[in-house]
């Protein structure tokens, strides 16, 4: 009897081990971890490496998905800062090298001049989060800044102080099996949005005020600013949403250069809002056409 129980336990452990290994092979068990932050609402833990769904995710010392870099520039280098949310971050279904920032850097750089494209972006960050991040980090000496916004960003404001709406895990899962269980629970029982408790217009005005602060900070640091509108796939068919039109109005009132990705052909998407690898490459190519003559290393002597 004891032998049977022993063999049953061994068989059960072997099954669990096989499931654990299989899930890790498909990219579970090692999700990016975030932490609460009084100013930013939440941020990614710096200096981390992950493998999510088979894709590399490297978080640098500043807490962003990019190669590490200093705040100061040395050598033949110029910088472009990309402000945004998950579109710039790249979601977890793009490899690090497939993100817009890394692709654009490769397109613009040459042996004699490195163009460092720095993403200041975390999933579900709205203008208020972005303004706080810019206030903390500055522009990293970038001479050009592009802010990538979608219609929903107009009313995407921090509204859940308990962290229930943070789009990342706040603690590591118990193995890949625990990760799978958490993922299923998150999908079946998503947290209730709390934005309804804050009037729509209140959120819109707060986001527009944050965008004003972003514009002022970038102008103070002497960088150029490009407004990039990321149209959703329904908008490509039916036209820009009212929230998007208000973002265009904000850019027009400040006489900002704009790029409407809804007018760019061949941008492919993984879902209604996030570009897939091919879409990210197409966006990078479009941006490279804008910045190829602007981001040029100057003689520093």
Rounded distance between C-alpha atoms, residue 290 and residue 295, angstroms:
10
Domain boundaries, the chain: 1-30+172-193, 39-159+195-291
The rounded radius of gyration (Å) of the Cα atoms in the chain is 21
Non-local CB neighbours of 185 within 8 Å, separated by 6+ positions:
none
Residue 186 has pLDDT above 80, yes or no: no
Confidence tier at 282 by pLDDT (50, 70, 90):
very high
SS3 277: helix
Indicate the fold that domain 39-159+195-291 takes in CATH: Rossmann fold (3.40.50)
Mean pLDDT calculated for residue range 76-104? 95
Asked if 273 and 241 touch (Cβ cutoff 8 Å), the reply is no
**Which pLDDT does position 61 carry in this prediction?**
96
**Which pLDDT does position 177 carry in this prediction?**
75
For residue 117, give Cα distances in angstroms to 18, 87, 149, 245, 249: 41, 15, 17, 28, 27
Rounded distance between C-alpha atoms, residue 163 and residue 160, angstroms:
6
Reported as a single tens digit per residue, the pLDDT across 16-40 is 666 666 667 777 778 999 999 999 9
**Interior CA angle at 187 toward 174 and 193, to 5°?**
110
SS3 56: strand
**Which pLDDT does position 16 carry in this prediction?**
66
Rounded distance between C-alpha atoms, residue 124 and residue 118, angstroms:
18
Confidence tier at 300 by pLDDT (50, 70, 90):
very low
Rounded distance between C-alpha atoms, residue 247 and residue 149, angstroms:
8
Residue 53 has pLDDT above 90, yes or no: no
Place of tokens 């009037």: 199
**Which pLDDT does position 185 carry in this prediction?**
77
Task: Give the max Cα distance, the chain.
Answer: 84
């Amino acid at each position: 009897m004891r032998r049977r129980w022993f063999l049953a336990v061994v068989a059960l452990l072997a099954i669990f081990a096989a499931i654990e290994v299989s899930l890790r092979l498909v990219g579970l068990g090692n999700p990016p971890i975030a932490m609460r932050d009084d100013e930013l609402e939440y941020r990614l833990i710096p200096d981390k490496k992950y493998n999510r769904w088979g894709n590399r995710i490297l978080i640098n010392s500043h807490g962003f998905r990019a190669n590490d870099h200093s705040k100061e520039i040395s050598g033949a280098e110029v910088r472009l800062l990309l402000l945004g949310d998950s579109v710039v971050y790249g979601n977890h279904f793009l490899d690090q090298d497939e993100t817009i920032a890394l692709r654009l850097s490769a397109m613009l750089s040459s042996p004699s001049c490195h163009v460092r494209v720095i993403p200041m972006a975390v999933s579900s960050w709205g203008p208020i989060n972005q303004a706080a991040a810019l206030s903390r980090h500055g522009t990293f000496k970038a001479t050009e800044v592009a802010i990538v916004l979608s219609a929903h960003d107009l009313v995407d404001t921090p509204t859940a102080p308990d962290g229930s709406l943070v789009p990342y895990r706040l603690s590591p899962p118990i193995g890949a099996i625990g990760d799978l269980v958490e993922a299923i629970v998150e999908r079946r029982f998503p947290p209730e949005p709390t934005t309804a408790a804050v009037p729509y217009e209140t959120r819109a005005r707060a986001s527009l005020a944050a965008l004003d602060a972003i514009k002022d900070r970038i102008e103070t640091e002497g960088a150029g600013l490009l407004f990039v509108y990321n149209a959703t796939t329904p908008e490509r068919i039916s036209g820009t949403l009212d929230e998007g039109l208000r973002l265009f109005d904000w850019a027009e009132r400040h006489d900002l250069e704009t790029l409407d990705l809804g007018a760019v052909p061949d941008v492919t998407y993984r879902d209604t809002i996030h570009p897939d690898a091919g879409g990210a490459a197409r966006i990078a190519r479009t941006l490279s056409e804008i910045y190829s003559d602007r981001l040029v290393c100057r003689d520093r002597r």
